[in-house]
A and B are shown apart, each in its own frame.
Chain A
Amino acid sequence: MDAILLQILNGLDKGSAYALIALGLTLIFGTLGVVNFAHGALFMIGAFCSVTLQRILNLSFETVDPTRTDFLGNPAVIKTPYVIDWFGESTGAAIIDWSVPLAILFAIPIMLVIGYVMERGLIKHFYKRPHADQILVTFGLAIVLQEIIKAFYGANPIQTPAPEALSGVVEVLPGILYPAWRVVYFCFSLVVIGAVFAFLQFTTFGMVVRAGMADRETVGLLGIDIDKRFTLMFGIAAGVAGLAGVMYGPINAPNYHMGMDFLVLSFVVVVVGGMGSLPGAVAAGFLLGILESFASMTWVIDLIPGINQIIIYLVAIIILLVRPRGLLGRKGVME
């Protein structure tokens, strides 16, 4: 019993990331009808937002401490981060310690701007082009974004540790210990998903967007400038992917190709959930995450070797063949 619970928990953090990325992909696809292969890159950029903030916070000035010497006998050079100088020892250190959660605030405006620029500068021109062209141009963009990050941050993964207080384990259920940060990540993703759904459900803006997802032309006829709203939607989708990336850093050290790695899986998630269905994307994300974690159990691997590597693809292939619309997909989307 405990083993099963543990596997479910293990699946939840990856599932959360899948769900968040797939949610953004679906938003973009549902509203704009664009297949965005650069969405994984947005996730990656989010992760590097927290890397960047961490570096900014660690910017230091150097002072020479004459009372101490280093091992060569020279006066020791002490680096003091500016934040510690400004906010004092304890507050400054706490700020640095909490750089990953703080990066959320840092990442939101950046991701919104990136999303806006991407939509206005590039994607907009591809609404009327075939899906193949959209895939190709966003694939090119993904390569470009990934290479830019590589040029700035190098090819090696960069550690972005969780705050001290959240880096231990917690007892989530009696007798089950679980890394605290993964619990945080899961809760965080629920909050983000909830926020997106609430936004679509309870605001006029969201209503128009939902109507637009159902039937773009009619909404256009009502005299509502749907395009402008869709632009913002793209920004929000980029933001969701970015946030997923920011918080994922402590689970897996960010590297430049993490976007591509997640992209393929996220597409599979979207397809399984049903192209254009937001609840489908979220459900499929968690489901596949958990499934993957179950497939990684030792006895399962002993039974069917390699199943953990391919389970997601296998499920996707079966779903696509048996139920082409996906779990919760609507009829007539891209058929």
Chain B
Amino acid sequence: MFGLQKKDTNLLLIVIALTMLAPFILNPFPTDSGLAQFNAGYPDLMQRFVIFGIFAIGFNILFGLTGYLSFGHAAFLGVGSYSAVWMFKLLSMNILPAIILSVVIAGLFSLLIGWISLRRTGIYFSILTLAFAQMSFALAYSVLTPITNGETGLQITLDDPRILGISQTADGSIPVTNLFGMEMRATTDLALGAWSFTFSMGYYVCAVLMILAFYMSIRIFRSPFGMMLRAIKSNQTRMNYTGLNPKPYTLAAFVISGMYAGLAGGLMASMDPLAGAERMQWTASGEVVLMTILGGAGTLIGPVLGAGMIKYFENIFSKINDNVLHTWFSFMPDGLENLMVGILHPFVGKGWHLTLGIIFMLVVAFLPGGLVEGGQRIGRMFGRKKPTDDTSAKTEPAE
């Protein structure tokens, strides 16, 4: 189906099902229960899942396939956000032109940076991208203030022209982002017994785009182009002596992943029409690296999983404070309870990044294939029935 092999079709269908049913899946706990705080089914968070999913899918096309580690992809995301907000300011609050412009501008910007950075490989490439990203960040903060509005960040105001739309609504407020009239912030609530589920227009727009992005990435992975990219990672010497020029292939991968980042940035601005320079900082680029590696670089589903994991636990962990910990361990004797709370305290709440850093180190050290490899290992542990078949199963246009 969809021109894909059976295995990939199944994967795509699973992803479609998961994203479409996410408002249910992420809200497993009744609204009034004590566990409701672990629900993740509210629009803002779900949007972040899929937007960062798109970002990571794109990053994976570059890093996962070619092995070129870019530390500057947040710059493209930032550029995408700025472009989208400018579209909201000048043209209209319709997100479609905004997103298109985000992708185009991010594509052009990544073409420029990629063209220069890809003259070097390995660590030099990483440092070049890092330098470019920091430069963009510094410029957005200072000189480019007329375009980026500096520290405050770019926002939409009441006196923006919006030539195809309206500067302000009838009641004098700022119009909201929409897709041909369907407002992004529109939500529908569904109460089922003790549960309540929220369906957000914005989420579904992002989700559909993520599915599209995911589908495109499957096609790229299975295409001759994807194979060439993996060949670049594997052996550039042989690539050259086989009559292939690795540079344009890598550049194409760089631009495609830059456009994915631009799409993510554009969507971010579409959900919440503002853009700030901090989105471009290199630590933000580091975050997408973490997502991709954590999920499994070079695998199809890994980046999506990684993005979801990090954004989910970021949300959950930040909510666990000492009070929550005390209720968890209240069954223990007081001394032990305090001890447990004391041990866990640095890792939750504001300490989420500490936990993330530790998990990340463990993954890089012991599970280079990320969560996907972990899943495969567990799967193999339980399904040791046909070990002889293992090699042939593994080789299908390798993941």
Residues of A within 8 A of B (CB): 35, 122, 125, 130-133, 135-137, 139-144, 147-148, 150-151, 260, 264, 267-268, 271, 275, 305-306, 309-310, 313-314, 316-317, 320-321, 324, 334
Contact = CB atoms under 8 A, between A and B. Distances in A.
B315 interface: no
Given A140-B364, A260-B283, A268-B131, A131 B356 contact: no
Query: Across chains A and B, which 8 residue pairs bring their CB atoms closest together, nearest first?
Result: A306-B143, A143-B357, A309-B138, A147-B354, A140-B361, A144-B357, A140-B360, A313-B131
B389 to A, nearest CB: 30
Interface stretch (B19-27, B99-107, B122-130, B205-213): B122-130
Contact of A264 (B282, B353, B365, B368): B282
Interface in B361-375: 361, 364-365, 368
A67 B326 CA distance: 45
Contacts of A271: 124, 127
Nearest to A306: B143
B247 to A, nearest CB: 14
Contact of B365 (A137, A150, A305): A137
Contacts of A275: 123-124
A309 B123 contact: no
A140 B357 CA distance: 5
B130 A267 contact: yes
Main secondary structure on A side of the interface with B = helix
Contacts of A264: 130-131, 134, 282
Given A141-B357, A317-B135, 5 more contacts: A35-B123, A143-B353, A275-B124, A309-B141, A320-B124
A15 B194 CA distance: 63
B101 to A, nearest CB: 24
Contacts of A150: 350
A331 to B, nearest CB: 14
A26 to B, nearest CB: 13
Interface of B: 67, 69, 116, 119-120, 122-124, 126-128, 130-132, 134-135, 138-139, 141-144, 282-283, 286, 289, 293, 346, 350-351, 353-354, 356-358, 360-361, 364-365, 368
Contact of A144 (B139, B142, B354): B354
A137 B131 contact: no
Nearest to B346: A151
B14 to A, nearest CB: 28
Contacts of A267: 127, 130
A131 B143 contact: no
B135 A314 contact: yes
A334 B139 CA distance: 30
Main secondary structure on B side of the interface with A = helix
A130 B234 CA distance: 12
18 contacts: A122-B365, A130-B67, A133-B368, A137-B365, A139-B286, A140-B358, A144-B358, A148-B354, A151-B346, A151-B354, A267-B130, A305-B143, A309-B138, A310-B138, A313-B134, A320-B124, A320-B127, A334-B122
Contact of A320 (B128, B142, B364, B368): B128
A95 B113 CA distance: 53
Nearest to B138: A309
Contacts of B361: 122, 137, 140-141, 144
Contacts of B130: 264, 267-268
B131 to A, nearest CB: 4
A260 B283 CA distance: 9
B124 A313 contact: no
A141 B358 CA distance: 7
A305 B143 CA distance: 6
B139 A309 contact: yes
B142 to A, nearest CB: 5
Nearest to A326: B124
Contact of B127 (A132, A148, A310, A316): A316
Contacts of A122: 361, 365
A324 B126 CA distance: 14
Most buried by B among A125, A140, A264, A268: A140
B124 A324 contact: yes
Most buried by B among A135, A142, A260: A135
B132 A125 contact: no
Contacts of A305: 142-143
Nearest to B283: A260
A130 B128 CA distance: 18
A131 B122 contact: yes
A324 B117 CA distance: 12
Nearest to B360: A140
A306 B148 CA distance: 14
A148 B128 CA distance: 29
Given A147-B354, A148-B354, A271-B127, A133 B364 contact: yes
Given A136-B364, A306-B143, A313-B132, A268 B351 contact: no
Contacts of A334: 122-124
A267 B293 CA distance: 22
A133 B367 CA distance: 11
A37 to B, nearest CB: 9
B364 A306 contact: no
A313 B135 contact: yes
Nearest to B141: A309
Contact of B123 (A135, A140, A147): A135
Nearest to B63: A132
Contacts of B365: 122, 125, 137
A140 B365 CA distance: 10
B289 A136 contact: yes
Nearest to B362: A140
A313 to B, nearest CB: 4
A191 B128 CA distance: 32
Given A267-B127, A313-B135, A320 B351 contact: no
A154 B321 CA distance: 16
Given A140-B357, A305-B143, A317 B138 contact: no
A267 B139 CA distance: 20
Most buried by B among A35, A122, A320: A320
A264 B72 CA distance: 12
Contact of A131 (B123, B358, B360): B123
A136 B364 CA distance: 7
Contact of A317 (B132, B282, B346, B364): B132
